[in-house]
A and B are shown apart, each in its own frame.
Chain A
Amino acid sequence: MSEAGFKPGVAVEIEQSLYSKRKKIYPRQVHGLFAALRTSGVVVLLGLYYIIPWLQWDDRQMVLFDLPVRKFYIFGMVFWPQDFFYLALLLIIAAMSLFFFTAVAGRLWCGYACPQTVWTEAFLWIERKIEGSRPQQMKRDKAPMSWNKFRVKASKHFIWIVFSLFTGLTFVGYFSPIRELTYNFFTFNNGPWEIFWIFFYGFATYGNAGWLREQVCTYMCPYARFQSVMIDNDTLVISYDAERGDPRGSRKRSADPKQQGLGDCIDCTICVQVCPTGIDIRDGLQYECIGCAACIDACDDVMDEMGYAKGLIRYTTENTLKGKVTHVFRPRTLAYGFILLVITFGAAYAMLNRTPLAFDMIRDRNTLYRETSDGLIENVYIVKIMNKDKRAHRYQLSVSGLDGISLRMDVDHIEVNSGEMVEIPVRAVVNSGAIHRRSNELSFKLVAEDVEDLAMTEDARFIGPLAER
């Protein structure tokens, strides 16, 4: 910067960098232990994502968040909007496990499991299959447009788009039965909103994994920005061992680096070339690093070739690098781990012991009470029963609260199928002699005939003709 400070050159520079295009990153392909782990992560996670909606459970889709009918099926369980509580618990568990694993081993999530990483890897794989290696891609991008370049680019984008649409179709298939959806998709019979969301999600996949890539992590990911609050000097991070590597410099394989005054880093920059976010890990721990360990694999290969020990770039902790002891068990990990365990067990307990039944008594407000032909006082209710269990049940409804009160229904049994709701009018009748107040509290009890534990009680008012006497 010139002595004058904020002056012409600088202003122009800002203007340019504000709107300058990002430099495209061409991650070089890498092989090794962590690359294999990441690839298996991609295969398993994408496999699960694409296969799960096709699996059946008792004649219905195994995992289906059926928005059109407001019911959520997960394995044998049926959830209703009223069970939102469990979703909230699940989100808390997810957040706590993210905290826990980040504190222990850094950005494991980002490097191996984040959808952004997983789909970007898949898109990179397609890109390499069609466009070739990093140097080939760079050369083609620099070259002027030609028939051949157009053909290669067009086929890449075509495959990307098909893959993205398939992804979008699968995504919508989690919310609307996928078999119908797919059949309708190929016969052009889907509703406008289904089509819209298939294309919307497809477009998001294509944009994020094909074009935005590391910019999603840099600019869109909140986790990347607040990771530092979970990381400390005992956290496993990917780091370059500057003590061992510096001073860097190229040398002949036969040369003795010590004689030349060099460290183990031969400055081949392969660690930079493989980095999907385009950083130089040798500059230290950086916000952009997603912890994918590609640089570890790459550097280990180079070290092997040079005949040096592996691990110039490795998973390590700040404390180890400084020659101190690393503590896996420390207040932070113990606290995160403890909270995680408590919430997980609590949620599992609540989920397993939840009464798969919802029951409501709604008094008919149109009439206060009626006298029946046989001289009894009658109140009318609507009973609402939701069977959240995975099989049908037959229920008994009973009432207490007034002497000699009984129920009259038009049906003999209340039978509700799995995941369904019924509304039945019910009349409570009692002799007027039993009524001593105008408004009385009744207690209704619903019990499943086949399972004694499956029961719920619900209070409701009974209005009587006390004023007349």
Chain B
Amino acid sequence: MTPPSASSPTPPPAIPLIQRVVAILWPSFITAGIATIVFATVFDPKTLFMEYDFSRMAIYSVSFFLFWLMGVINAMSTCFFLMPCSIFNKCKTRQDAAAPE
């Protein structure tokens, strides 16, 4: 085994699919929970939506999922912008790697 050099980089350790999915869904789930608690503590949803006949349970639930959605969008964009620039050159690295010598 040769020591890693600039011309032959060691591939980064593989990240399983489940870990990728979880990395987006899970932190946003937690922050959505916190956001909902803070939201529910500071505002009484009944007075915020006085003119509508929503139950508090419905408002809490919907706000939780909206917060979750926001978190998912946030996490996905972070992952998107963290993608190495080379990937956007039509996945050249992978083609090169797959081509025979």
A: residues with CB less than 8 A from B are 1, 3-8, 10-11, 14, 17-20, 22, 67-70, 81, 84, 176, 191, 193-194, 196-197, 212, 215, 218-220
Contact = CB atoms under 8 A, between A and B. Distances in A.
B56 A6 contact: no
Nearest to A216: B22
A219 B22 CA distance: 7
B97 A6 contact: yes
B98 A176 contact: no
A135 B2 CA distance: 42
B41 A6 contact: no
A70 B14 contact: no
A8 B26 CA distance: 34
Interface of B: 1-2, 4-5, 7-11, 14-19, 22-23, 26, 40-42, 44, 55-58, 60-61, 94, 97-98, 100-101
A215 B5 CA distance: 33
Contacts of A7: 97
Nearest to B25: A220
Given A5-B7, A5-B8, A8-B100, A17 B44 contact: no
A85 B26 CA distance: 26
A68 B56 contact: yes
A70 B59 CA distance: 13
A18 B94 contact: no
B58 A14 contact: no
A332 to B, nearest CB: 27
A5 B9 contact: yes
Contact of B97 (A10, A20, A68, A215): A10
A169 to B, nearest CB: 15
B100 A219 contact: no
A49 to B, nearest CB: 19
A18 B17 contact: yes
Contacts of B42: 81
A436 B52 CA distance: 46
Contacts of A22: 16, 18
Report the 7 A-B pairs with minimum CB-CB distance, sorted nearest first.
A5-B8, A17-B14, A11-B97, A193-B57, A219-B19, A81-B41, A84-B41
A19 B18 CA distance: 8
Contacts of B97: 6-8, 10-11
B26 to A, nearest CB: 5
A6 B1 contact: no
A1 B61 contact: no
